[in-house]
Structure 1
């Protein structure tokens, strides 16, 4: 990322911090951010020991080499810290903690569970499946023995936040608009196949009315707007308004299971660490307010 956490740790605790980011443009952006901050906090650039490098972290990444190339001196003890490590990146960091004696500690806040590669289920986009390939779930012997599988729908649900949905009831407006828009696409535009592939994005971000949403969606999909009028759109709203509460209730019931699935993924990782490095002290710690940060759990392990 742009080094928010790395700069903070480096400046406050006077630690050498190496920020690893796969995108060179993001690394450049992080450097610009530090320069900008230094205008308001003049000693930041002089005192920070944060540096960034562009590379992809995988099972072959040599952190000692990267550190030496960046700071020009050797270190044999590392803490791997990630906020938020997307998809399989979290698991790559866990593997390094287990296999690399120089990695003495890990603090991992994960995200994007829908991008994980499962051991016992085919990738829905490639239909590829091989039990012998490295995977992100399951990791623990217990779940491997039971050939536990989740599936993409369950992993998509794991990234939802019950607490945030409960606090902000407007979050489901986009789903209601999208569902009603799909009826229009079927009945007026005759789209009956591959509807799941239609991507509309966050069109409801600025509190649009449903009519505004429809016009924006038609523009994005490049469909003929002369086939529909404001009156027709309003009639669809009236016709299906009674289903709004049913959809809302269904979504709330689904989100009730989000924490359960997320915890299954995280406990699998915790048990994996306990199995692989039994002498280490490993914990799951609730660090953040779940309304402000739905990914509140941090997996911590110390050798």
Structure 2
């Protein structure tokens, strides 16, 4: 068993042991008594002690290395991909192509922020990093990049600017295609930059798409012997799966670099070794780094929704979706707004005084739900690890790749979906 498979096996064991915590729905926190149902008595006792001393869960983690709370958090940290020895750091990426030089200077990221090409800072940062990585990979006998889920063409124009690499930018959305063309026209008008080596294409891709044909229809000089880089930044859900399968099936694709996201949109396990509920996949989207760094008080939205669920159940409406946009000034206003939104008749909506009484009845559970969700977010990092490792192992087991690597490209505080799956045939 290699490092990736060993790591996945440990993740799956942890997920199995904490299934109820990971799979639960937070709106049911009060109605289903999740505090007692999903946590061990010892862990509940330790958390209740923290509440009595008004201490933050993160601040308390190393008071007693043998207690159950520490064991839980330490295990999630051990299984978090960022702490895995099998995951390469950005400055270690030269091991992918050991005969080709790659040097990373952290100062490049901040210096490049000022050269904003109609991008927000987060996107500019991601594009700067990925551009250099793909520029490095392009030295391995790949002379064109196919950018899947290209959006507004950020990656395509950056590759063209810095390396002169031709790019076929594919997106399934006509509106995003139009936005890419508009952005390119703005850059030509305001920055006097043109991009003749970029071609845009509207296409819904799957694992049977003929990529050589797509390239040949846009670039007349490419033939059956040409090899391409297959790239995607934050490819949503099943798009990452389609890219991985396409890479293995298409002889014209010899390098893969994909950064997956939106795990909740992909139910399929490529290896068939694991299955995750939608709640688990949604949890994998959370950022444990951001949650741990949070200095301001948590939004009351989770608690408000859990209290509202008590009322909804009493009305026989326990299975409804409220959605976003509710006012958060206090629970009574939140509840009345929500009930109106889902169509409850005005005469059946409780008064503000009645709603306040309901809120006051459960107010002592607010600290519980906040800590409970923080534990779930830590567990979510293990689910993310399992989802990503499933894809890496699928590529390795195909026996069609001479090299498969998992690389942490981005600072996870700036860009939580930070792992690139890189493969070479």
- Please give the TM-score of this superposition, normalised by the length of structure 1: 0.80
Secondary structure of 1:181 counterpart: helix
Cα distance in 1 for residues equivalent to 2:379 and 2:420: 20
- Mark the CA change 1:225 to 1:50 in structure 2 (over 3 Å): closer, same or farther: farther
Residue equivalent to 2:220: 72
Cα distance in 1 for residues equivalent to 2:353 and 2:189: 55
Matches within 5 A, 1:94-109: 94-109=244-259
Residues 6-15 or 250-259, more deviating: 6-15
| 5+ long unaligned stretches in structure 2 | 1-150
Deviation at 1:232, TM superposition (A): 2.7
| 5+ long unaligned stretches in structure 1 | 119-136
Cα distance in 1 for residues equivalent to 2:388 and 2:234: 14
Cα distance in 1 for residues equivalent to 2:358 and 2:227: 63
Q: Residues 18 and 67 of structure 1 are in contact (CA less than 8 Å); yes or no, is this contact kept in structure 2? A: yes
The C-alpha deviation readout for 1:83-106, integer Å capped at 9, x for no partner, is 111111111111122222211111
Deviation at 1:12, TM superposition (A): 2.3
Residue 249 of structure 2 corresponds to residue 91 of structure 1: no
Q: Residues 113 and 156 of structure 1 are in contact (CA less than 8 Å); yes or no, is this contact kept in structure 2? A: yes
Q: Count residues in correspondence.
A: 271
Secondary structure of 1:256 counterpart: helix
Deviation at 1:202, TM superposition (A): 2.4
Residue equivalent to 1:131: none
Deviation at 1:201, TM superposition (A): 2.2
Residue 300 of structure 2 corresponds to residue 173 of structure 1: yes
Query: Which residue of 32, 57, 75 corresponds with 2:182?
Result: 32
Residues 208-217 or 249-258, more deviating: 208-217
Residue equivalent to 1:248: 370
RMSD: 2.3
Q: Residues 241 and 270 of structure 2 are in contact (CA less than 8 Å); yes or no, is this contact kept in structure 1? A: no
Deviation at 1:278, TM superposition (A): 5.5
Residue 387 of structure 2 corresponds to residue 265 of structure 1: yes
The C-alpha deviation readout for 1:223-278, integer Å capped at 9, x for no partner, is 23452333233333322111111111111111111111111121222122222246
Deviation at 1:283, TM superposition (A): 1.0
Residue 254 of structure 2 corresponds to residue 153 of structure 1: no
Q: Residues 77 and 103 of structure 1 are in contact (CA less than 8 Å); yes or no, is this contact kept in structure 2? A: yes
Deviation at 1:108, TM superposition (A): 0.7
Cα distance in 1 for residues equivalent to 2:209 and 2:156: 19
Higher relative CO (Cα under 8 Å, sequence separation at least 6) belongs to 2
Residues 4-13 or 22-31, more deviating: 4-13
Cα distance in 1 for residues equivalent to 2:287 and 2:266: 18
The C-alpha deviation readout for 1:37-57, integer Å capped at 9, x for no partner, is 4333221xx236333211111
Cα distance in 1 for residues equivalent to 2:335 and 2:214: 50
The C-alpha deviation readout for 1:182-228, integer Å capped at 9, x for no partner, is 223234xx1345x1xx2222225x86543443343234223234523
Deviation at 1:5, TM superposition (A): 2.3
- Mark the CA change 1:47 to 1:192 in structure 2 (over 3 Å): closer, same or farther: closer
